[in-house]
Amino acid sequence: MQSKYPIFELREIKRIVFFSLIITLCLACIAVFFDLRLFNLIAFLGPAFIIVQKIRTKYLINSEEMTFSIMFGKKEWRKVNLNEISKMEIHRRKNGKIKKINLRNSSNIFFTAEPARGDEFAAQIKKLLPGINTEERKAKWYS
């Protein structure tokens, strides 16, 4: 069975797209007002790729194969065997929500996940790996 965990919930995506459109329109007005060329306007819109990439990223946990995958759209970017994971670090914000989860293997290489439903994601990992060493921390940057 595969469990999908997106980075953003649907309502957050709508909010991001709305504010991105407002910012794009403001930048377009600035470009027209200051008589900037089209090249400069395109340079202003560069961060849009990062927003689209974050929206399309999903984390997959396959409980049958015991794997954790990071998907960009339909393409698998990174895959790790959950049996190799020895430690899970949970970083929480001030409000108690999970900001990110680091999964470390025995050679101390870690894989970071920032799912929207972090508690559900952590519970799924704990269910699949009952003996995993879990460490909770406050996030360094509260965002």
Q: Provide the 3-class DSSP secondary structure of residue 37.
A: coil
pLDDT 10s digits, 54-70: 777 788 888 888 888 88
Burial class (CB in 10 A: 0-12, 13-18, 19+), 31: middle
| Domain segments of the chain as ranges | 2-138
Question: Which residues of the chain carry a pLDDT beneath 70?
Answer: 1-9, 36-46, 139-143
- pLDDT score for 134: 82
CATH class of 2-138: mainly beta
pTM reported for the whole predicted model? 0.61
Are the C-beta atoms of residues 8 and 67 closer than 8 Å to each other?
A: no
pLDDT at 39: 62
Q: What local confidence, expressed as pLDDT, does residue 26 receive?
A: 80
pLDDT > 90 fraction of the chain, expressed in percent and rounded: 0
Asked if residue 134 lies in contact with residue 126, where contact means CB atoms within 8 angstroms, the answer is yes
